[in-house]
Structure 1
Amino acid sequence: MFSRNIFSELCEYLYSDEFFILYGARQVGKTTLLKMLEAKLKENGEISYFFDLENIQYLTDFDKNPENILSYVSIPENKRIFIFIDEIQYLQNPSNFIKYLYDHYKDRIKIICTGSASLEIKSKIQDSLVGRHYAFRIHPLSFFEFLEFKQASIHQLDMSKITENQKNEMHTYLEEFLLYGGMPAVVLKKSKEEKKKLLHSYVQTYIQKDIRSITVISDIVKYNYLMKMIASQSANLLNINNLAENLSIAYSTAKRYVSILKHTHIIQLVPPYLQSVHKQIRKMEKVFFYDTGVRNALLNNFEEIQFRSDSGALFENMMALEFLHVYKNIYYYRTKNDAEIDFIIDDKEILLIEIKYKKLKNFISPKIFYNFGETIKKQRKYIININYQDKKNDITILPFYLYNNIFKK
């Protein structure tokens, strides 16, 4: 079983009073993480039980009364047990179910659960659970997790010392990652055809099953077209007015469809970096897909990277996902003259990051970095490209396989 970066963080919360929930898109590895946590507890001599709510018997019994779960478990005296529940959103009222067990049995039972669609969970898990739970978003694999799943020995090397041949090997892995994404099951498929088949199946299941079970879509055909239109615009500004006009639907409908895509973890919207929150709301956001493989499946385009006109957008999309693994909020910056900084990360410092899907041959210093203005926090400036590495003054240029250096300061 392959490890995930988030696993060690989850382990830190195993013995807290609060229950926790893993949420995210389907097939990103939530159930696998539950089983890894259960195995960890068993190694520690703990007692655990696992319930999959796709089992109708469990679902029916738990919906009737939260107390019914006690008929399936045994709680020794002076001992706390761990209960894992997969797909908690299938319950009619997961909020009441968990609140009841937490309020009455928190010293005896620890609940750890998953849910596939945050839209569903948001509508069913209410504010009554504030202070009773932690929520962890599970993403598709990061690039370095992808390398581990591929059993690529190169990922264990010191990336700052790899040879030219190893750099070429890294670029080959990058191209596969950009084309087929980071869904664990897709990564583990050996052939390109198997990967494509699984990604197309993912899209069809999302359209035919997931969305219909979550909300009412009056015109699923136009919803499908909207997804494809947004896929063609990934790493660009999302103009909802244009979507509505092109699909001959109301602006409110287009906005609702975009919201559904966001809350079901198909897309991520990145706002502009502005001091005023009110201005942020009025400005257009950039759109990225949570998985580049799903994006390419929607467009039915798995053409090799070297022949694609959207290779730069795919690379920027990938880097957005890598940053979201580490930072909750990322932004972009654009001037009135349309000069742009691809990513702004407002953390302990302000990170200004430009993404270039090209092989740089010498140092560059984008003027936009110096038009950004002074900030109270210290600024660090980065350019991520394919191959070139350099540093002058306050600008650091990194090849893509060293992007982790940004997080190590």
Structure 2
Amino acid sequence: MIQRNYYLNRLIRNMWNGEIKVITGIRRCGKSVLLFELFDEYLRNHGTDATQIIKIELDQRRYYKYRNPITLCEYVEQLVLGQQDKKLYLFIDEVQLTAKVIDQENGGIEVTIYDMLNELKAYKNLDVYVTGSNSKGLSKDIATEFRGRATQIHVFPLCFEEFYSAVGGDERKALDTYMLYGGMPRLLAMQDDKDKKDYLSSLYTELYVKDIVERNGIEREDILNDILNFLASQISSLTNPTNIANAIASMKNEKVNPALVSNYVQDIVDSFLISVAKRYDVKGKTYFNYPNKYYYTDIGLRNARLNYRQYDPGHIMENLIYNELLRRGYSVDVGVVTDRTKGANTQKEIDFVVNDADRKIYIQSAFRMDTEQKNASELDSLLLTKDFFKKIIVRMDIPHNFYDENGIFHCNLIDLLLGRVELF
């Protein structure tokens, strides 16, 4: 059992805070294990009896009836009212599977799971925790749906530090494996490479694509799959729905509507399969509408999507850094600075502008810097900011970390991923 202490400690810190704890993340990334096993174990070890924990797993047949939010609420209320002298915990798994229903007894109004959970939250002896695998099922604005009384904890597949704590051994060899197969937890129980590849492929065909199609009423599953392939091949590259539509149209020899592509991309993002990094003008302090960058939540799923044909370590490394920054809770954008030297206005890119409240750093991802041209391209955009925020270049070709003459910190990727360096 991998001890996912970062997420577990967040749950512990937010116990009995008067809010609903909403645990989100892609399916099979470990949300249920976190709540139903790790957090359950913590509660038991600190004096909570099993009878004080109410568990409802909505993806299990015996709990299907509780997909009706009124039925679920009435069941929980009965248990709570019968044990008012005890502290109770409610765990609901895959809450996005609940349906909207009409409450005939109260004027025929529409009732959602949000209404019922807000009602249950009012009980002083009940602490509520739910998991969900789709932002549409939970709403993109969780705070609004739960009337400003929700704590969101987003769970990623295993980060490299968690992965390495399980596999051990040579760090570089472990990183090579992680860059190929990613961090879906079940992979740790598999030794054979073919089994790992088959598992990741089956997650796509039997779970993620079907979920997206069924939840969003997708009519052109073929185009959805083309978009997934395109985004997998273009991680860390700038693109937009029009470019994607044109590429698919050329391949299929038919007209493809960019608006349809835009909707399908949003459906993919809502499933937590892919994240969007928007471009930010560092000097102008404004966001660009397009193009954006897209990163896979798990690099193993990305590689499986392309049948391991396109193994490009530089782009994969950038994807890993982006996921690590998000996992740590930072706000991450793609930076744009304008070079106005020699009468030109050339836009140059900073891979990541990272914000933590009022603190900011700039990060470049460089697999290697072995030529003068590569050195200049990585350094120029950082120096163009002309400010005093910390600047970092994450590299794979240095044995130790150092500051250069410009005050830029050069950091080894493994040291970053294993938490050996302080970013801020």
Which TM bucket (shorter chain)? 0.7 to 0.9
Would the alpha carbon gap of residues 407 and 117 (structure 1) be closer, same or farther in structure 2, given more than 3 Å must change?
Answer: farther
The residue number in structure 2 matching 1:54 is 59
In the aligned structure 1, how far is the partner of 2:241 from the partner of 2:33? 36
Corresponding residue to 1:260 among 267, 282, 296: 267
CA displacement at 1:71 relative to structure 2: 4.4
Equivalent position SS for 2:121: helix
Cα distance in 1 between the residues matched to 2:63 and 2:389? 53
Render the CA deviation track for 1:230-269: whole Å, top value 9, x for unaligned: 1100011022211112233211111111111111111111
1:273 is paired with a residue whose SS is strand
Instruction: Within 5 Å, give how 1:53-202 maps onto structure 2.
Output: 53-61=58-66, 63=68, 64-65=70-71, 66-71=73-78, 75-92=82-99, 93-103=112-122, 105=123, 107-122=124-139, 127-150=144-167, 152=168, 169-202=170-203
Secondary structure of the 2:287 match is helix
Q: Which amino acid aligns with 1:101?
A: L
Q: Which amino acid aligns with 2:115?
A: N
CA distance in 2, matches of 1:72, 1:17: 19
**2:377 corresponds to 1:369:** no
SS of residue in 2 equivalent to 1:33? helix
Indicate whether 1:316 and 2:318 are aligned: yes
* CA distance in 1: counterparts of 2:294 and 2:141, whole angstroms: 27
Q: In the superposition, relative to structure 1, how do residues 370 and 126 fare at CA in structure 2: closer, same or farther (>3 Å)?
A: closer
Deviation at 1:3, TM superposition (A): 0.9
Which residue among 392, 402, 421 is the counterpart of 1:390?
402
How far off is 1:279 after superposition?
Answer: 4.8
> Aligned partner of 1:250: which letter?
N
Q: 1:343 aligns with which of 334, 338, 352?
A: 352
| Alignment partner, residue 328 of structure 2 | 326
What is the CA–CA distance in structure 2 between the aligned matches of 1:123 and 1:386, rounded to whole Å? 36
Q: Which SS does the other structure have where 2:327 is aligned?
A: helix
User: Greater strand percent: which structure?
Assistant: 2
Question: Match for 2:181: what amino acid?
Answer: Y
Deviations 1:315-344 (A, max 9, x none): 111111111111331112234535322111
When normalised by structure 2's length, the TM-score is: 0.83
| CA-CA distance at 1:199 after TM superposition | 0.3
Alignment match, 1:41: 43
What's the Cα RMSD here?
Answer: 2.6
State the TM-score, normalized to the length of structure 1. Answer: 0.86
User: What is aligned with 1:357?
Assistant: 367
Match of 1:28 in 2: 29
Aligned equivalent of 1:158: none
CA distance in 2, matches of 1:114, 1:280: 31
Question: In structure 2, the residue corresponding to 1:114 is in which secondary structure?
Answer: strand
Partner SS state of residue 383, structure 1: strand
Residue 379 in structure 1 maps to residue 398 in structure 2: no
CA contact 1:95–1:126 (8 Å) conserved in 2: no
Partner of 1:400: 413
Report the counterpart of residue 215 of structure 2 in structure 1.
214
Amino acid at match of 1:290: T
Per mean C-alpha deviation after superposition, the further-off stretch among 128-137 and 359-368 is 359-368
- Where do 5+ consecutive residues of structure 1 fail to align? 155-168
Partner amino acid, structure 1, of 2:413: F
Report the alpha carbon displacement of residue 131 of structure 1 after superposing the two structures with TM.
Answer: 2.8
Q: Is the 8 A contact 1:102 1:132 kept in 2?
A: no
Partner SS for 1:3: coil
Q: How many residues align?
A: 383
Give the counterpart letter for 2:396 in structure 1: I
Look up the match of 2:296: 289
Q: Secondary structure at the match of 1:367?
A: helix
Mapped partners of 1:87, 1:368: distance in 2: 43
Q: Give the AA of the match of 1:99.
A: N
Query: Any residues of structure 2 matched to 1:231-310 within 5 Å, and which?
Result: 231-247=232-248, 248-274=255-281, 279-301=286-308, 308=311, 310=312
Amino acid paired to 1:373: K
Shift of 1:289: 0.8
Three-state SS of the structure 2 residue aligned to 1:321 is: helix
